[in-house]
Structure 1
Amino acid sequence: MRIDSIFTFGGAGAQERPLRWRRLAGMSVGLVYLFFPVMDIVTGEVTGARAVWGALGLIAYVACFLTTALVPKEYGESTPLTYGSMGGATLLAVGLPFLFGGGWLTLPIYTTVIYSMALRPAWALLGMLVMGAVVALVGLLRQHDPAGTVVLLFQVVTLGILFMSVRNTRMLMLQLHQARDEVARLAASEERLRIARDLHDLLGHSLSLIVLKSELAGRLAENGAERAVTEILDIESVARQALVEVRDAVSGYRQRGLAGELDGARAALEAAGTQVTVRLAGTPLPDAVDGLLGWAVREGATNVLRHARAARCEITVVHDEEATVLEIMDDGRGAAAYGPGSGLSGLTERVEAAGGAVAAGPCETGFALRVRVPRAVGSRT
């Protein structure tokens, strides 16, 4: 058995341990049932020592209930003190009506409300049956008005079911808030992965180009060639552009176009001494396909720069009614040490998420990267 919640009215899910005054506000609704035994003492129907014991019993009952409801605990947790106080309230709800009868039969009703709000449905139903039996037995032994006893039994059932429904609603609200928090956490995690992937793709290409141009500038400077200054200025330009792209990627506003990536790939590869041939066929690409293939060109060109040491590289883009296909082929040495890295894995994830496919590996002339994206990607945007 587990105590799940005690009158946590207001602010569901906002905090797992509701404020005590909110719990007290919820409990005060049920305190109206204590009016009848209190009136028995005030009006003199119960007098003398019995009145003193009755008052002490009521005080003990309220104390047990307050302890049950207000003992600090995390949502869904319980303590021995919680169980003990609920047990004390149960004993008083059974014993006091047997001793005093009449209006004291409202205590089992109030205790049923406690069960309904505090326990799982199966245990709450069991408690409701026990309290109903107490009302029926006390009404019979104390010769209570039969009609009044039936009304009390009806209240035990209806209020028990009502507050079980209230508790279930509270539980669903809490689960909803927890699910919303989990969605937010997953979204943040996905955003971190996006940023990491974008930074890898952006910086891998830019830094490779900076390294190549730095090596070239160094050799030219050793020979006293004036072109070294031009290469150094290009390095500065590439570094500034990389900084802008990183900021855009972190902000989520970067637009990666195929044409711009083709120009960047051509410039980087030619700076490395690779002759580049670009072939385009088909109608203008949809925005979604254009951006995705821009990433593919950047990744493919970066791999050629890093691993291939190729003399020639061909980039072909064919777009027809069914799909768009990008092929990057080189005659370098990258095929000999081929192994899919994080960049290619990230590209594969992007393409497969769009319903496409990526194939990479050695070919007759060197190494080939092939990306196929269905036309449906463009039609959805």
Structure 2
Amino acid sequence: MSFADRISFGAADETPSAGRRLLGISVGLVYLVFPAGEIVTGAVTGVRAVWAGTLLVVYIGFFLGTTLSARSFVERGRWTYPLLAVTTVLGVAGAVVFGGSWLSLPVYTVVLYGFVLPAVRAIWAVAASVAVVIGAGLLHHDEPGLLIMLALQVVTLGVLFISVRNTRVLTRELGLARDEVARLAATEERLRIARDLHDLLGHSLSLIALKSELAGRLAEESPRARKEIEDIEAVARKALGEVREAVTGWRRRSLPEELDAARAVLRAAGVREQVRVSGTPLPGPLDGLLGWAVREGTTNVVRHARATSCRIEVTYDGRRATLDVVDDGKGGGGPYTQGSGLRGLGERVAQAGGTVTAGQEPGGHRLTVRVPAEADA
């Protein structure tokens, strides 16, 4: 499970249960006391009371269904928006048909808008609810004081729960950013250890191997001494190779790891990400080279593109590997220029026999890396 999946919207490290979500979102239940009271006290009677009771029960059912359909207060489920639409229609129908205390149904629905919809859409939904309350109240000739009070409640609850949702979104993004900072710190520490290990042991083992080779030449007249020295040389060279393999493994992350990191970085930056991979796994050299290209492309999107969405696509057909990083950003608005990171990537890809193209295109920017399968990267 990724870090993003572990982010909670009531706490930073646990997923809220359905019961907790219901408890948090059902604050508005108090408003159903008034329409229910009309049915209980007989203010609404006969067939009208039957329809009113049925509408109220169905409304509550769809309200709870909307709440439970969402995986969290930020991540929507497949049926969340359809259920919210039906809940909205029922709330408006109750207000328009019955008026009076039934005007509280749109007030109650506003709680859902604040938790389910993005901020801009929620604001428009709150404004529409105010219009419904006032319009239905005027239709039934309700008191102006009641209409003003309900309209203020719609606005107050809407702003309150939109703020609550935004706070949870910021908490999620903060958690993603914190996880990325920790990942970068761990990567930097691994690089430091790799450099120190290579500098300390690599030099010493190389010297041992060289000295052993020289001593072997000097001890040609003593077969036993020469054999022992050859053993020392073999062990030293083996140890040197193992150190280099370890350092290489620490310095380079695989393409899947870089893609996971790219997802986390883009989400933390508020960029919608879409990652497509086909034909993998790649050969070792291609895997490391495209992993570096993904890191460089993602860094450019986050730092310079001013994008809202980014698509990363990796394909491999056995003859050539291709990476496309496409965003919808506008950058600084000036001509496209390649920084040192892209130039370094271009040089390394060129050494592997591949090509790098980067620049503006209609609707954003594109970075494309093509490397032949036989590349020695």
TM range (shorter): 0.5 to 0.7
3-state DSSP class of the match of 2:10?
coil
Counterpart CA distance in 2 for 1:9 and 1:63 is: 25
Q: Which residue matches 2:111? A: 113
With over 3 angstroms needed to count, the CA separation of the structure-2 counterparts of 1:128 and 1:102, relative to structure 1, is: same
Q: Contact 1:217–1:232 at 8 Å: present in 2 too? A: no
With over 3 angstroms needed to count, the CA separation of the structure-2 counterparts of 1:180 and 1:9, relative to structure 1, is: closer
Q: Contact 1:217–1:229 at 8 Å: present in 2 too? A: no
- Measured after TM superposition, the shift of residue 95 of structure 1 is 0.4
- Measured after TM superposition, the shift of residue 221 of structure 1 is 3.9
- Measured after TM superposition, the shift of residue 170 of structure 1 is 1.5
- Measured after TM superposition, the shift of residue 34 of structure 1 is 1.4
Matched AA of 2:80 = T
- Measured after TM superposition, the shift of residue 226 of structure 1 is 10
Counterpart CA distance in 1 for 2:72 and 2:230 is: 62
1:57 aligns with 2:55: yes
Q: Which residue matches 2:13? A: 14
- Measured after TM superposition, the shift of residue 176 of structure 1 is 0.9
Q: Which residue matches 2:201? A: 203
- Measured after TM superposition, the shift of residue 150 of structure 1 is 1.0
Matched AA of 1:14 = D
- Measured after TM superposition, the shift of residue 103 of structure 1 is 1.4
Q: Which residue matches 1:158? A: 156
Counterpart CA distance in 2 for 1:196 and 1:75 is: 43
Q: Which residue matches 1:360? A: none
Q: Which residue matches 1:215? A: 213
- Measured after TM superposition, the shift of residue 18 of structure 1 is 3.4
Q: Contact 1:117–1:167 at 8 Å: present in 2 too? A: yes
- Measured after TM superposition, the shift of residue 75 of structure 1 is 6.9
1:141 aligns with 2:139: yes
Q: Which residue matches 1:331? A: none
Aligned pairs (5 A) from 1:4-153 = 11-15=10-14, 18-73=16-71, 76-153=74-151
- Measured after TM superposition, the shift of residue 180 of structure 1 is 0.4
The sequence identity of aligned pairs, in percent, is 50
With over 3 angstroms needed to count, the CA separation of the structure-2 counterparts of 1:9 and 1:215, relative to structure 1, is: closer
Note the alpha carbon deviations across 1:138-169, whole angstroms, 9 max, x for none.
21121212211111111111111122222221
- Measured after TM superposition, the shift of residue 38 of structure 1 is 1.5
With over 3 angstroms needed to count, the CA separation of the structure-2 counterparts of 1:169 and 1:76, relative to structure 1, is: closer
Q: Which residue matches 2:373? A: none
With over 3 angstroms needed to count, the CA separation of the structure-2 counterparts of 1:106 and 1:72, relative to structure 1, is: closer
- Measured after TM superposition, the shift of residue 121 of structure 1 is 2.1
Counterpart CA distance in 1 for 2:211 and 2:221 is: 15
Matched AA of 1:44 = G
- Measured after TM superposition, the shift of residue 92 of structure 1 is 0.8
3-state DSSP class of the match of 2:167?
helix
Q: Which moved more, 1:71-80 or 1:215-224?
A: 71-80
* TM-score of the pair, normalised by structure 1: 0.54
Counterpart CA distance in 2 for 1:182 and 1:102 is: 53
3-state DSSP class of the match of 1:29?
helix
Note the alpha carbon deviations across 1:108-146, whole angstroms, 9 max, x for none.
111122112221222111111111111111211212122
Q: Contact 1:112–1:156 at 8 Å: present in 2 too? A: yes
3-state DSSP class of the match of 2:43?
coil
* TM-score of the pair, normalised by structure 2: 0.55
3-state DSSP class of the match of 1:151?
helix
Note the alpha carbon deviations across 1:327-381, whole angstroms, 9 max, x for none.
xxxxxxxxxxxxxxxxxxxxxxxxxxxxxxxxxxxxxxxxxxxxxxxxxxxxxxx
Counterpart CA distance in 2 for 1:191 and 1:75 is: 36
Q: Contact 1:135–1:149 at 8 Å: present in 2 too? A: yes
- Measured after TM superposition, the shift of residue 106 of structure 1 is 0.9
3-state DSSP class of the match of 1:222?
coil
Q: Contact 1:220–1:227 at 8 Å: present in 2 too? A: no
Counterpart CA distance in 2 for 1:12 and 1:76 is: 13
Counterpart CA distance in 1 for 2:157 and 2:70 is: 26
- Measured after TM superposition, the shift of residue 13 of structure 1 is 4.0
Q: Which residue matches 1:172? A: 170
Q: Which residue matches 1:375? A: none
Aligned pairs (5 A) from 1:253-292 = none
Note the alpha carbon deviations across 1:22-43, whole angstroms, 9 max, x for none.
2111022221111111111222
Counterpart CA distance in 2 for 1:118 and 1:10 is: 13
Q: Which residue matches 1:312? A: none
Matched AA of 1:130 = A
With over 3 angstroms needed to count, the CA separation of the structure-2 counterparts of 1:144 and 1:21, relative to structure 1, is: same
Counterpart CA distance in 2 for 1:145 and 1:75 is: 36
Q: Contact 2:74–2:116 at 8 Å: present in 1 too? A: no
Matched AA of 2:127 = L
Question: How many residue pairs end up in the alignment?
Answer: 236
- Could you tell me which runs of 5 or more consecutive residues in structure 2 were left unpaired when the two chains were aligned: 1-6, 248-377
Q: Which residue matches 1:319? A: none
Counterpart CA distance in 2 for 1:193 and 1:9 is: 32
3-state DSSP class of the match of 2:79?
helix
Q: Which residue matches 1:347? A: none
